[in-house]
Amino acid sequence: MQIKSMFSGLFSRGKQPVEEGENKKDNFSYAKIWWIGFGFLGVQVAFTTYNAFLPLMYRHFIESRGLIGLLMGTDNLLGLLLIPVIGAWSDRVNSPLGRRLPFVLVALPLAALTFFAIPFAAAMLWTLIITEIAFTAAMHSYRGPIISLMPDHTPPEKRSTANGIINLMGGIGTLIAFGGLSLIYDIDPRLTFGIGAAILFLTLFIVWKKADRHPPYIDNSPVSSRNPIKEAFGGILVLLKPEKRGEFLTLAAMLTYFIGFAGLDAMFPIYGVETLGLTEGRAAFILTTFAGAFLVFALLAGYIGTRLGKVPAMLIGLAMVPVLFLVSIPVREPMVIGGIFIVAGFGWALINVQAMPLIADLGGRDRVGYYIGLYYVFTMTGQMIGPSVLGFSMDIMGNEGMFISGAAVYALGFVLLRAGRKRLAADPEKIAHKSRLSNARAGSGR
């Protein structure tokens, strides 16, 4: 009976006082955002390790690289299905633990346990597949809610800087996976995944201790019992309505530039080997200049977004990256390419650090999880099709087609975002205010 009552309490819709959040509005602290950032650090540790070593495990059973890639694609597919539903559901929940923490408390331990089990499940193909599916389902069940904790604790005008902190913490998680856990893998894979699972449990403890149960920048009032599945997938269709055109164009912009990001990530090692004459390892290593620059400039990009506005900062980045890609076409010196990628990494930081807070602003105070779910639907779709888009461009135009098509989709992202900005508001910082008014009218009509 105690277990039953605990879980019913986690996901109950009982009334919660608004006053708790309201009394904390003047107590915003970036220190709390650093602590909450440990949640994203854990996500990056787990997914980076998973992406690096699962293909190696599958290689013992499957020769086809395409089939291995298809199995790894279950990650993005499950994310497309789960993240928007869980995000909308977390907006509907109103428990003693608030809206997001119930999902984190249930799904994160399941993710840690299945992550720990991966090397043991690798003895047989079917057990490895089942464990992979269980792990990715658990990860995507808490990924949206744990990311939503940042806007829940941050006023809209400070979310760019706060997201710079979150991205920096995620980058540290990636470095832990590549710089630490990957070295331990050669000693014993079970040790790598065991330490990774322990890090996940540690992030759960930190977030549990530091996150507010009813954060100040989210609506803590009672909510409707609307079906989250209908709201999540029906909401995607709603984006096609004329009054939602600005939101659709903004999300479409994010889909297009993620095609370029994911395509470059997947195809550049081939370009490096065949065009630049590098070894496979050196070709892949050049990409660390792009990722490292993003990590270094994440906080600066967040500060710039706070000062200039989210959309203007993104437009600067979206103007920079295509030019840098085109400049790279005639270059055959790896060191020069690396230098160009450092500058491009700064441009990517200007784009990506602002993106999620911009979409979170559209959710006002009561639909943050839903809009973050939409953000992941569009960006993960871009990541799924990006390698094939840039890959086919290389088939048609030669290896330089990677840079040409990459520049084209980033430029298209610039055009779409600029059009979306005009549809939403002349001043990008009015987006959140207009969305809150719209949501209030919609709520009064329910």
Confidence (pLDDT) at 65: 63
Is it the case that residue 433 has pLDDT exceeding 50?
no
C-beta separation of 151 from 368 below 8 A: yes
C-beta separation of 264 from 406 below 8 A: yes
List the structure tokens of 372. Answer: 């973050």
Confidence (pLDDT) at 214: 85
Single-letter residue type at 198:
A
Examine the domain organization and report whether 210 and 264 are in the same domain. Answer: no
Confidence (pLDDT) at 366: 66
Is it the case that residue 31 has pLDDT exceeding 80?
yes
Is it the case that residue 399 has pLDDT exceeding 50?
yes
Examine the domain organization and report whether 247 and 123 are in the same domain. Answer: no
List the structure tokens of 244. Answer: 């939602």
Examine the domain organization and report whether 244 and 121 are in the same domain. Answer: no
Is it the case that residue 18 has pLDDT exceeding 70?
no
What distance in Å separates the CA atoms of residue 354 and residue 301, rounded to the nearest whole number? Answer: 8
Where a domain ends, among 169, 186, 217? 217
Q: CA 288 → CA 49, 102, 250, 275, 338, distances in Å? A: 16, 36, 28, 18, 9
Domain membership flag for residue 20: no
Domain membership flag for residue 101: yes
What distance in Å separates the CA atoms of residue 309 and residue 211, rounded to the nearest whole number? Answer: 27
Examine the domain organization and report whether 341 and 402 are in the same domain. Answer: yes
Three-state DSSP string of the chain: CHHHHHHHHHCCCCCCCCHHHHHCHHHCCHHHHHHHHHHHHHHHHHHHHHHHHHHHHHHCCCCCHHHHHHHHCHHHHHHHHHHHHHHHHHHHCCECCECCHHHHHHHHHHHHHHHHHHHHHCCCHHHHHHHHHHHHHHHHHHHHHHHHHHHHCCCHHHHHHHHHHHHHHHHHHHHHHHHHHHHHHCCCHHHHHHHHHHHHHHHHHHHHHHCCCCCCCCCCCCCCCCCHHHHHHHHHHHCCCHHHHHHHHHHHHHHHHHHHHHHHHHHHHHHHHHCCCCCHHHHHHHHHHHHHHHHHHHHHHHHHHHHHCHHHHHHHHHHHHHHHHHHHCCCCCHHHHHHHHHHHHHHHHHHHHHHHHHHHHHCCCCCHHHHHHHHHHHHHHHHHHHHHHHHHHHHHHCCCHHHHHHHHHHHHHHHHHHHHHHHHCCCHHHHHHHHHHHHHHHHHHC
Confidence (pLDDT) at 378: 92
CATH of the domain at 134: 1.20.1250.20
Domain membership flag for residue 262: yes
Predicted confidence (pLDDT) per residue in 94-113, tens digit: 788 888 899 999 999 999 99
C-beta separation of 270 from 392 below 8 A: no
311: confidence class by pLDDT, cuts 50, 70, 90: very high
Q: What average pLDDT score do residues 121-148 get?
A: 92
What distance in Å separates the CA atoms of residue 283 and residue 226, rounded to the nearest whole number? Answer: 50
Where a domain ends, among 217, 242, 269? 217
Where a domain ends, among 184, 217, 250? 217
Examine the domain organization and report whether 251 and 278 are in the same domain. Answer: yes
Examine the domain organization and report whether 120 and 153 are in the same domain. Answer: yes
What distance in Å separates the CA atoms of residue 45 and residue 33, rounded to the nearest whole number? Answer: 18
What distance in Å separates the CA atoms of residue 428 and residue 143, rounded to the nearest whole number? Answer: 27
Examine the domain organization and report whether 242 and 201 are in the same domain. Answer: no
Weakest mean pLDDT among 285-294, 375-384, 433-442: 433-442
Confidence (pLDDT) at 290: 86
What distance in Å separates the CA atoms of residue 142 and residue 147, rounded to the nearest whole number? Answer: 9
C-beta separation of 293 from 342 below 8 A: yes
Examine the domain organization and report whether 213 and 240 are in the same domain. Answer: no
Is it the case that residue 363 has pLDDT exceeding 90?
no
What distance in Å separates the CA atoms of residue 140 and residue 249, rounded to the nearest whole number? Answer: 25
Predicted confidence (pLDDT) per residue in 183-205, tens digit: 788 888 899 999 999 999 999 99
Count how many domains the chain has.
2
Other CB atoms within a 10 A radius of the CB of residue 399 amount to 19
Angle at 288 between CA 283 and CA 290, to 5 degrees: 105
Examine the domain organization and report whether 269 and 134 are in the same domain. Answer: no
Q: What angle do helix axes 310-328 and 334-362 make, rounded to 10 degrees?
A: 160
Domain membership flag for residue 19: no
What distance in Å separates the CA atoms of residue 219 and residue 444, rounded to the nearest whole number? Answer: 14
Please name the residue that has the structure tokens 């464990």: 131
Examine the domain organization and report whether 371 and 396 are in the same domain. Answer: yes
Domain membership flag for residue 5: no
C-beta separation of 419 from 315 below 8 A: no
Higher pLDDT, 212 or 72: 212
Weakest mean pLDDT among 73-77, 137-141, 306-310, 315-319: 73-77
Domain membership flag for residue 320: yes
Is it the case that residue 92 has pLDDT exceeding 70?
yes
Q: What average pLDDT score do residues 211-220 get?
A: 80
Higher pLDDT, 8 or 30: 30
438: confidence class by pLDDT, cuts 50, 70, 90: very low
Confidence (pLDDT) at 6: 38
Q: What average pLDDT score do residues 405-427 get?
A: 88
Examine the domain organization and report whether 193 and 337 are in the same domain. Answer: no
What distance in Å separates the CA atoms of residue 344 and residue 382, rounded to the nearest whole number? Answer: 19
Domain membership flag for residue 17: no
| pLDDT mean across residues, the chain | 82
Q: What is the CA radius of gyration of the chain?
A: 21
Predicted confidence (pLDDT) per residue in 232-288, tens digit: 666 666 777 787 889 999 999 999 999 999 888 878 878 888 899 988 668 777 877
Examine the domain organization and report whether 157 and 268 are in the same domain. Answer: no
How far from the centroid of its chain's Cα atoms is residue 299's Cα?
17
Is it the case that residue 351 has pLDDT exceeding 90?
yes
Domain membership flag for residue 162: yes
Domain extent for 212:
28-217
Confidence (pLDDT) at 2: 42
